[in-house]
A and B are shown apart, each in its own frame.
Chain A
Amino acid sequence: MHLTQTLIQKIVAAHSSERCRPGDVVWLSIDLATARDFGGANVVKNLEREYPETPVEDPSATLFTFDCQAPANTIGYANNQHIVRTFAKKHGIRIYDVNGGIGSHLIMDRGHCIPGSTAVGTDSHLNLVGAIGALGLGMGDRDIAFAFKTQRVWFKVPETIEVRMIGTFDYPTTPKDMALLFLGNLGPSGALNAAVEFCGAAVESLNLSGRITLSSLVTEAGGVAGLISPSEAVLDELKVSKGNRERVVKRDAGAPFVRKIEIDVSGLQPKVAMPGNPCSVVNITEVAGTPIDSVLIGSCTNGRYEDIVLAADILEGRKVKNGVMLKIAPATREIYGRLLKEGIISKLYDAGAIIVNQGCAGCAAGQVGMTGKGEVQISTGNRNFPGKQGAGDTYLASPVVAAYSAIYGEIRVPE
């Protein structure tokens, strides 16, 4: 009998010679192994200790991406970045240095990670490449060093949860609100150790940016990854070649899901996650009027061109409230460049925003700075655990809510 499989199970089966049923531990072949400035120095240390002769199996399938601190603003990070640069040069490994941007975005945008492929990296949100129907796995530095050396990792095949999102919503609601709705429904362990496969009309209509936002929040529900089968429009946006389009994987009819969840987004209103827990999601009306001190627009969840344009359209011709700090970090250098050339950065500048270098920024204590004790921040990021982005309190919301909040100095219901 032919075994029917979910999207992730099919990718795993295509990358392993062993039986791939949920719970099985297999050796998974890896198409792309990456490390960042966070974790990267430890990967190098492991490789030089364990495999000093030939530390890297295939330099063409191996990358470093510096995105935590761009450029380094602590000696520790500066030292670590330089350890990685030296190693990469010695072994002919490509680096996207501090001028590149967020690695998980770059590997999709530059075609290093394509639909149906496997990628690993020292980034717990590397799984957001599920947005293009690829299997990305965030891992620690031992796993990644082993992947550099062998192009393989062990992998416990997860169960798959189907999350079907139906209905439609209108501006000012955004894909971030849809993602927060999903996260609030599931909670911090709602997808624990499982994979999520998103489907339904509300998901299928999302462009690449919206899909990234959705897939980027699966880690916060405890999930291994959240995958979406790419639409033709997304394949076009990614400029996927004809040959590679044949590698696109879709689930089998009747694929086995451990659970099926349906979420209706009809009439969805903007959502906000309360400080300390990304899953503590409320309707914005419950916290509207809460005074804020700072606003951060960016991160691997909402640092795309479309996200920043949403904010710029609101901020154009208006001013950030006196005493409020608005910080914007584009995800990649290309996004930054496009915003600059199209005059969008200029609109943000005129409104009073600080635009910092491309990269992760807030979640990694990076170039965007941190919050002080008592400071209240609203961020478009994905993680607001206590102490994560500084000593202050961080709310999570969409770029639209963030932009309005910057103008009024309080959590503001969009007009």
Chain B
Amino acid sequence: MHITGRACFIKNASGALIDNIDTDMIFHNAHLHVTDIAQMAQYAFGNLSGWEKFPESASNYDILVVGGNFGAGSSRQQAVDCFIASGIKAILAESFAPIYFRNAINSGMAVLTLEGAQEGARQTLEEIPDGAELSVNLKTGEVAIGGKKGVISCPPIPPVLLSIIEAGGLFEFAKKTSK
């Protein structure tokens, strides 16, 4: 499975990918009562300093590139679903917080991490301009940049988790496999 599209790099004012973005920055607890996925896009990154206007430009992007420990904090599924509602198809992170990683896979969001990738992978990503075309291959862990293959090699997603993502999420996977 691979996803190709325009990348949005979640950086701070000095151009570094932001680390430790927590679920209250992604989808604030004031909106936790929202259960309709279609209503979630408007709140994405609503409490992340400098990115409050992300929903206005989300339709320009397909892939999010984020720093370390992305999605720390609460177990809220909305912190993933708000990006699905925004049309984001993959998240490439230096690393994910454990619950966020589960929630992303269970929603059928394609995910890759740089844990185990070659040294300098993060810097390589930080130098790519906003909106550049990335292609992420979940089966091999390869990331292509602007059509150039194998620029970054991430660890591949374990087979069972890849099957869940390919099915479109946990429920869809369960239907296919009668798990």
Contact A192 B95 (CB under 8 A): yes
Contacts of B35 in A (CB 8 A): 41-42, 45, 80
Contact B102 A143 (CB under 8 A): yes
Tell me the complex Cα distance, A79–B28, Å.
19
Contact B33 A188 (CB under 8 A): no
A50, A76, A385: which contacts B73 (Cβ < 8 A)? A385
Known: A25-B158, A156-B158. A80 touches B33 (CB 8 A): yes
Tell me the complex Cα distance, A122–B20, Å.
21
Contact B102 A386 (CB under 8 A): no
Contact A188 B170 (CB under 8 A): no
Contact B69 A142 (CB under 8 A): no
Tell me the complex Cα distance, A42–B35, Å.
6
The verdict on B47 contacting chain A, using a C-beta distance below 8 Å, is: yes
Q: How large is the interface on B (under 10, 10 to 19, 20 to 34, 35 or more residues)?
A: 35 or more
A:327-365 near B, CB below 8 Å = 364-365
Q: Which residue of chain B has the shortest Cβ distance to A190 in the bound complex?
A: B69
B:126-179 near A, CB below 8 Å = 158, 160-161, 164, 169-171, 174, 179
Selecting from B10-18, B58-66, B74-82, the interface stretch reads: B74-82
Tell me the complex Cα distance, A193–B99, Å.
9
Contact A387 B24 (CB under 8 A): yes
Known: A365-B30, A385-B24. A142 touches B77 (CB 8 A): yes
Contact B106 A193 (CB under 8 A): no
Contacts of B69 in A (CB 8 A): 188-189, 192, 222
Contacts of B77 in A (CB 8 A): 39, 42, 140-142
B19, B33, B164: which contacts A154 (Cβ < 8 A)? B164
Contact B95 A193 (CB under 8 A): yes
A:45-81 near B, CB below 8 Å = 45-46, 50, 68, 74-77, 79-80
Tell me the complex Cα distance, A123–B73, Å.
10
The verdict on B86 contacting chain A, using a C-beta distance below 8 Å, is: no
Q: Which residue of chain A has the shortest Cβ distance to B97 in the bound complex?
A: A222
Contacts of B75 in A (CB 8 A): 39, 122-124, 138-140
The verdict on A185 contacting chain B, using a C-beta distance below 8 Å, is: no
Contacts of A122 in B (CB 8 A): 75
Tell me the complex Cα distance, A71–B14, Å.
44
Q: How far does the Cβ of A340 sit from chain B's closest Cβ, in whole Å?
A: 30
Tell me the complex Cα distance, A367–B172, Å.
38
Contact B161 A386 (CB under 8 A): no
Over the window 28-56 of chain B, the binary record of Cβ atoms lying under 8 Å from chain A Cβ atoms (1 yes, 0 no) is: 11101111000000000001010000000
Q: How far does the Cβ of A137 sit from chain B's closest Cβ, in whole Å?
A: 8
Contact B34 A76 (CB under 8 A): yes
Contacts of A388 in B (CB 8 A): 24, 29
A27, A39, A50, A189: which contacts B171 (Cβ < 8 A)? A50
Q: How far does the Cβ of A63 sit from chain B's closest Cβ, in whole Å?
A: 16
Known: A189-B19, A192-B69, A387-B25. 5 other contacts (CB 8 A): A23-B158, A42-B35, A76-B33, A140-B80, A146-B171
**14 pairs, A vs B, C-beta closer than 8 Å:** A25-B158, A25-B160, A38-B76, A42-B77, A46-B171, A139-B75, A139-B102, A140-B103, A142-B170, A143-B103, A154-B102, A189-B20, A222-B72, A388-B29
